[in-house]
Chains A and B, each alone.
Chain A
Amino acid sequence: MPRPAGKVVGQSSFYAAVVTLVVFAAFPFYWMLITTFKTDGDLYNLKSIPYWFNSPPTLEHLKYLFEDTLFVQWLSNSALIGLCVVAITLLVALPAGYGLARMPGRSGENLSIGIFVTYLVPPTLLFLPLARVVTLLGLQDSMWALVVVYPTFTIPFCTWLLMGFFKSVPREIEEAAIVDGCTVVGAFVKTVLPLSMPAILTVVIFAFTLTVQEFVYALTFISSSREKPVTLGVATDLIRGDIFYWGELMGAALISSIPVAIAYNLFLDRFISGITGGAVK
């Protein structure tokens, strides 16, 4: 029996649920967006409706952010740190993932789980001793400290992800290359690497985003404004005492979030399959 009324109610409650959830998730970002372009008079006015512009939008905050703060410096710090960490991660995780994937029996699997588990070790447990290690390396208050420390969490995760992928590359292809005249390393470089480009791209994106998202180590190791990555700089330097420059703050948060959010969304499925250990294809 068709029940049009019930169907309409079901439909609308379904959409209501979706909308509620989306609003809960995305409202803070809408709030960032609108705050960025509101004039101070509009922002700090209790009378008007805050959801929309009550006076014309302004670029004042962004102008201040780019011209009178170290925001650009922080952005480039983050980019540089990210690139270096990606390079170190690839250099270490590519061979490791391959070595583990081709280890005979269960030893490779067990060893890789051992490495993966270190991804669970939180910065909170290690920031005190690592601060000392960083000082020993002469890197205190320098962003290079982060370049050294961040691979501790990118390497385990990326090795794990790459191992899973390398395992899916048939051994026959490498062996064909070996019989056809390659060394073991040559076969890896000429056949396995080109076939793994999607996985390598994923690793690059994730090492980069994980690096950009990090906050605790940056907070612990770095105090000079010029050395800060963008997450730390925005969260600490744009707040002077109790005075918050909300327009600038939200603008900075928005600009730094957008690229990360896009990259993350594109590679989400691979990330999930990595974290669940390939249980989900």
Chain B
Amino acid sequence: MAAVVVKDLRKVFGDVAALDGVSLSVRDGEFLVLLGPSGCGKTTFLRIIAGLERQTSGDVLINDEIVNDITPRARGVAMVFQSYGLYPHLTVANNIAFPLRTQGTTRPEIGRKVEWAAGLLGIDHLLHRRPRQLSGGERQRVALARALVRNPTVFLLDEPLSNLDAKLRASARSELKQFQQKVATTTIYVTHDQVEAMGMGDRIAVIDHGKLRQVGTPSAIYDHPADDFVASFLGTPPMNLVEHSGGLLGFRPEHFLPREMLDGAALSELLFRIDRMEYLGSERILYGALDGFQAKCDVAAKLPAHVPLSGIRAGEWHKFAVREAELRYFDRDGRCTVSPKEQAR
């Protein structure tokens, strides 16, 4: 069963299409991540589902019901905003109770639910504080608790970790994921951070320029990018793309290794000129150019740092190779195709 379905969603601001015909169905209980660069329309998508923005055309269905004309308050969705949108003039307890009050929940029921949500998120001891007395991580939990109390059909999370510092973000990431699994509420999570997307999403939907590029599990997205945008958006450094018989040939830097490190058959050998090297502690990244191929940016190779760099020096050519199974082909329009060899078969 699908909790949220959108059909051919379009949203036009002036003459710019923020969303250009997006269709997507989010499964019940699923953690779906909307991933895309800033300005790609992913936040607009979320706001349309919440009802804060009205789509230009297309339908939004929540629990199999078209909610185009239903107000946000009646859609049964909960949203956590980028800077949380906590009510600064209310205590944490009253912040969490707010959505219940607007629904006319009885007083003892409110007390019970606030306690329950606060307990679940471990913020019982903060109930009498005000938002400005809380740390970033605590604020985020309060926002989650406020979203949770009303048993929403869907959680909508708009980059909820972007205001945390890097260290806190890593722990918040796993907590958030565990929390979602515990409450099993359908979640749509918007981010531009591929690490968050890969680490948290059951599925990832990649959006660019208002268009849905690919939907799939993290491994499907990473290993089998549907087009050159997805290929170049994920991975650090992203997939190498070089021009090849009218289309593009792609391979991940971690699959692009010195010839001597690979054995077995079905290898594509390539001559690689190393221009510069970056040592990152756990790995080494080599940037350079390929003999006989044109590329828009430097070709990168990612080597484990513990491998000795025998005979590889900046400025020199070296024989590198990729397993043929790891090669990806994209046609003239950037869409992924099978390899020319397979085509020939």
A residues adjacent to B (C-beta < 8 A)? 170, 172-173, 175-183, 186, 191, 194-195
Contacts and interface: CB of A to CB of B under 8 A. Distances in A.
Given A173-B88, A194-B89, A195-B88, A179 B72 contact: yes
B83 A180 contact: no
A179 B83 CA distance: 15
B229 interface: no
Given A175-B52, A194-B89, A195-B89, A180 B99 contact: yes
A210 B100 CA distance: 43
Contacts of A186: 102
B162 to A, nearest CB: 13
A26 to B, nearest CB: 40
A179 B156 CA distance: 10
Given A170-B85, A182-B73, A195-B88, A176 B79 contact: yes
20 contacts: A170-B85, A172-B81, A172-B84, A173-B87, A173-B88, A175-B85, A176-B79, A176-B81, A176-B85, A178-B51, A178-B52, A178-B73, A179-B50, A179-B79, A180-B73, A180-B99, A180-B150, A181-B150, A182-B102, A186-B102
Contacts of B88: 173, 195
B323 to A, nearest CB: 48
B77 interface: yes
A122 to B, nearest CB: 39
A170 B86 CA distance: 10
Contacts of B44: none
Given A170-B83, A170-B85, A179 B77 contact: yes
B10 interface: no
Nearest to A172: B85
A178 B99 CA distance: 9
B125 to A, nearest CB: 23
A173 B52 CA distance: 12
B82 interface: yes
Given A172-B81, A172-B82, A179 B87 contact: no
Contact of A181 (B52, B73, B84, B89): B73
Interface of B: 50-52, 71-73, 77-79, 81-89, 98-99, 102-103, 146, 150
A191 B87 CA distance: 7
B99 A181 contact: yes
Most chain B beta carbons < 10 A, residue from A180, A181, A183, A191: A180
* Nearest 6 interchain pairs by C-beta: A181-B102, A176-B85, A172-B85, A180-B99, A181-B73, A172-B81
B75 to A, nearest CB: 8
Main SS at interface, chain A: helix
A195 B82 CA distance: 20
A172 B131 CA distance: 14
A261 to B, nearest CB: 31
Contacts of A181: 73, 99, 102-103, 150
A210 to B, nearest CB: 28
A184 to B, nearest CB: 9
B98 A177 contact: yes
A186 B99 CA distance: 12
Given A179-B73, A182-B102, 4 more contacts: A176-B87, A180-B99, A183-B73, A191-B89
Nearest to A196: B89
Nearest to A176: B85
A186 B81 CA distance: 19
Nearest to B77: A179
A66 to B, nearest CB: 43
Most chain A beta carbons < 10 A, residue from B50, B78, B99: B99
B89 A179 contact: no
B87 A177 contact: yes
Contact of B146 (A170, A178, A180): A180
Contacts of B103: 181
A170 B84 CA distance: 10
A173 B102 contact: no
A29 B81 CA distance: 55
Contacts of B77: 179
A173 B98 contact: no
Contacts of A195: 88-89
B239 to A, nearest CB: 36
A228 B102 CA distance: 48
Nearest to A197: B89
A173 B73 contact: no
Contact of B78 (A172, A179, A191, A194): A179
Contacts of A173: 85-88
Contacts of B81: 172, 175-176
Contacts of B52: 175, 178-179
A31 B99 CA distance: 60
A175 to B, nearest CB: 5
Contacts of A177: 87, 98, 102
B223 to A, nearest CB: 36
A194 B73 CA distance: 21
Nearest to B152: A179
Most chain A beta carbons < 10 A, residue from B71, B82, B87, B99: B87
A108 to B, nearest CB: 16
A182 B88 CA distance: 17
A181 B100 CA distance: 8
